Amino acid sequence: MTEPSATRPSTPAHPSADHPPLLEVRGLSVRFRMPGGRHVAAVSDAGFTLEAGQCLALVGESGCGKSVLASALLGLLPANAQTAGTARTAGTELLTADEAVLARTVRGRLVGLVPQSPAAHLTPVRTVGAQLAETARALTGLRGEAAARHAAGAAERAAYPADHLDRYPHELSGGLAQRAATALALVGDAPLLLADEPTTGLDRDLVEHTADELRRQVDRGRALLLITHDLAAAQRTADRVAVMYAGRIVEIAEADRFFGDPGPRHPYARGLLNALPERSFTPIPGLPPELGDLPAGCAFAPRCSKSDGRCASQRPVFAGGTACHHPEGAAP
Amino acid sequence: MIELDGITAGYDRRTPVVRGASLSLAPGEAVGLLGPSGCGKSTLARVVALLHRPEAGRLAVDGEPVCAWRHRAPRRLRTAIGVVFQQPRLAADPRLRLVDLIAEPLRATGRREGAARRAAELAETVGLTGELLRRRPHEVSDGQLQRACLARALVLRPRLLVCDEMTAMLDASTTAALVAAVESYRAASGAGLLAVGHDRVLLGRWCDRTAEWEDVATG
Ligand code: SF4
């Protein structure tokens, strides 16, 4: 795995009174009501904070709940979802905001979404410049030349070349399409960016490039929640890493400690890193549990080599950066 | 066992996406083919998997030149080669339960007898068991569905497995699990492998050797 491209200024891990976090998530749970009265607990009791100039990577396998968490923050959950807890940014409660508030003040303005598939996010029949200007008009109220200038500014910040603003999406390489999508996320000057699997299916060069572009936005003072299964992209971009398993955050750690020494504290997180081809390339045995049928104790117990009777019966609480009865090493 | 010589292929005769590709795999050999996305390596994988007819060049399997592709390819050749793609959702019939998805090639080749049992056995080797096998694709995760697609590719005991970006969408543990399942099948059967992808670290760790797209094709 490659080293992060640049050393970063150290940022405080915990918000202080005069630096309220840009995003504060507490006790966030999302349940889906299924036919037959069943419930699926997609996210359970998730909590974290995120400050300006910081990137938190939320990692885990498909189906672990990380995308549902992102959808909850953007008010994009389906109708059968029930939420609990709070998710606050800039004084706005995201979980209970109605669609009008979300559309008028949240999406694009407070939270910019960097999509998974830029191709699907860009309108094929209009040039990138026209789409950016239209988004600028919608989000900022600017008109005419002013909107076009604002759009060009967002393009520049996303390192999208000015002489390609008159191109159509299908004329762009994968890298430029990703930058165009990032530019769209930046148009509204949202202080919080949410990137949902922005590197899926990209070549390694392009992954690194996209990760570096996102990091640049963070270094300019934005907060970034990076949702990914790609540990290399997380390592390249993030200050902190949150690991999700079966709908719960099981570890939050500084990226340096997580990827380097002493490594993760939670057995699942350790297993995930060990599975990388540049490490031992050994899979974690078994499969994750069904979110509709979670075990009573620790959800990882059936797959964990350290599991004991307590693990099977008693759910570990989150403490010292991890939710585990027998974590590795000492709390940081 | 597999020889590709001067293969040119594409979707429009004027602008082929693969030009003059040549590569050979020894019996039982695992070769990783590395190239950037959009370079044509997936099209070449489809040619090898007998799913895409090239415009020019020669493909030979165990010394026998291939002269027909897709449903025209002789069954004996089609069943000798298994294939797994990047996106399991595009490669799986959404109406089939996983157990039937895995058994599909057996039924399609008239081997209904014992198909369900063989499917269940294979499912276990890719880490799928019990109730999961009765679910349909929309009821399982991408990783679980890809496990089923791998089992389907192995169900006819192919002599060659073609994996086209099989793990590009998957997390590290599921990736390692699928690679381990492929390798235990290969150890037991002596099958060869063509793994196409862009992840140098992964293919380097997985395969006996890797080949660069620029050395395989001329453009
Ligand atoms: S609580 Fe027990 S079973 Fe769960 S991860 Fe920790 S040691 Fe393993």
pLDDT in tens, B24-56: 999 999 999 998 877 889 999 999 999 999 999
At residue A250's C-alpha, the angle toward residues A27 and A69, to 5°, is 50
Mean pLDDT of B199-205: 94
pLDDT at site A199: 79
Q: Is the CB of A245 under 6 A from ligand 1?
A: no
Mean pLDDT of B132-159: 94
pLDDT at site A119: 67
Rounded Cα–Cα distance for residues B84 and B103 (Å): 15
End-to-end Cα distance, chain A? 24
Residues 252-311 of A with CB under 8 A from B: 271-273, 275-278, 281-284, 286-288
Which range has the worst mean pLDDT, A205-214, B78-87, B129-138?
A205-214
Cβ atoms of residues A302 and A246 within 8 Å: no
**Is the CB of B176 less than 8 angstroms away from the CB of A286?**
no
Q: Is the CB of A315 under 6 A from ligand 1?
A: no
**Is the CB of A281 less than 8 angstroms away from the CB of B205?**
yes
Question: Three-state SS across B59-79?
Answer: EEECCEECCCCHHHCCHHHHC
Q: What residues of B are in contact with residue A32 (Cβ under 8 Å)?
A: none
Q: Which ligand 1 atom sits closest to the C-alpha of A306?
A: 7
Pick from B147, B148, B142: which is nearest to B170 by CA?
Answer: B142
CA B127 vs CA A270, B143, B212: distances in Å? 20, 11, 32
Helix, strand, coil percent content, chain B, rounded in steps of 5: 40, 20, 35
pLDDT at site A19: 65
Instruction: Say yes or no to pLDDT of B7 above 90.
Output: yes
The shortest CB-CB distance from B171 to any of A174, A272, A286 is to A272
Q: How many residues does chain A have?
A: 332
Q: Which ligand 1 atom sits closest to the C-alpha of A307?
A: 3
pLDDT at site B102: 96
Q: Position A208: which residue type?
A: E
pLDDT at site A83: 96
Q: What residues of A are in contact with residue B38 (Cβ under 8 Å)?
A: 174
Q: Which ligand 1 atom sits closest to the C-alpha of A310?
A: 2
pLDDT at site A207: 80
Helix, strand, coil percent content, chain A, rounded in steps of 5: 35, 20, 45
Question: Three-state SS across B149-184?
Answer: HHHHHHCCCCCEEEEECCCCCCCHHHHHHHHHHHHH
Residue the block writes with tokens 């949150």:
A242
Rounded Cα–Cα distance for residues B3 and A91 (Å): 64
Q: What residues of B are in contact with residue A287 (Cβ under 8 Å)?
A: 127-128, 132, 144
Supply φ then ψ for residue A234, to 5 degrees: -65, -45
What mean pLDDT value characterizes chain B? 93
At residue A270's C-alpha, the angle toward residues A264 and A274, to 5°, is 130
Low-confidence ranges of chain A (pLDDT < 50): 1-17
The rounded Å distance from CA A43 to ligand 1 centre is: 19
Q: Is the CB of A306 under 6 A from ligand 1?
A: yes
Pick from A282, A153, A156: which is nearest to B180 by CA?
Answer: A282
Give how far B186 is from chain A: nearest CA, Å.
Answer: 17
Give how far A24 is from chain B: nearest CA, Å.
Answer: 27
pTM to 2 decimal places: 0.87
pLDDT at site A121: 73
**Is the CB of B143 less than 8 angstroms away from the CB of A277?**
no
Supply φ then ψ for residue A49, to 5 degrees: -125, 160
Residue the block writes with tokens 């497995």:
B161
Q: Which ligand 1 atom sits closest to the C-alpha of A299?
A: 4
Q: Which residue has the higher pLDDT, B101 or A180?
A: B101
pLDDT at site A120: 67
The rounded Å distance from CA A66 to ligand 1 centre is: 20
Rounded Cα–Cα distance for residues A102 and A125 (Å): 27
Q: CB burial class (10 A; 0-12, 13-18, 19+) of residue A15?
A: middle
pLDDT at site B219: 64
